[in-house]
Amino acid sequence: MSQATLSAKTNREIGSAPMRRLRREGHIPAVVYGEGVQPLPVAVNAKEFRTAVSGDQGLNTLITLDADGAVFTVMAREIQRHPVRGTVAHIDFQVVDPNKGVTVEVALHMIGDAVEVRHADWEVDQQLFSILLIARPDQIPTHIDVDVSHLTPGDAIRIEDVLLPAGVQAAQDHALSVVTTRAGRAATTAKAPGAPE
The per-residue pLDDT for range 68-107, each reduced to its tens digit, is 899 999 999 988 888 888 788 899 999 999 899 999 999 9
Please report, as a single letter, which amino acid is at residue 48: E
Tens digit of pLDDT for each residue in 117-153?
999 999 999 999 999 999 999 899 999 999 999 999 9
Q: Average pLDDT for residues 14-43, to the nearest whole number?
A: 88
DSSP string, 88-119: EEEEEEEE--TTS-EEEEEEEEEES--HHHHH
CA distance 197 to 107: 48
Q: Is the pLDDT of residue 12 over 60?
A: yes
The structure's pTM equals 0.79
Please determine, looking at this structure, whether the domain spanning 3-96 carries the CATH number 2.40.240.10: yes
Tell me the pLDDT band of 186, cut-offs 50, 70 and 90. Answer: low
Please determine, looking at this structure, whether the domain spanning 103-189 carries the CATH number 2.170.120.20: yes
**Using an 8 Å Cβ cutoff, are 181 and 117 in contact?**
yes
- Name the residue among 47, 29, 161, 150 with its Cα closest to residue 108: 161
Domain ranges of the chain: 3-96, 103-189
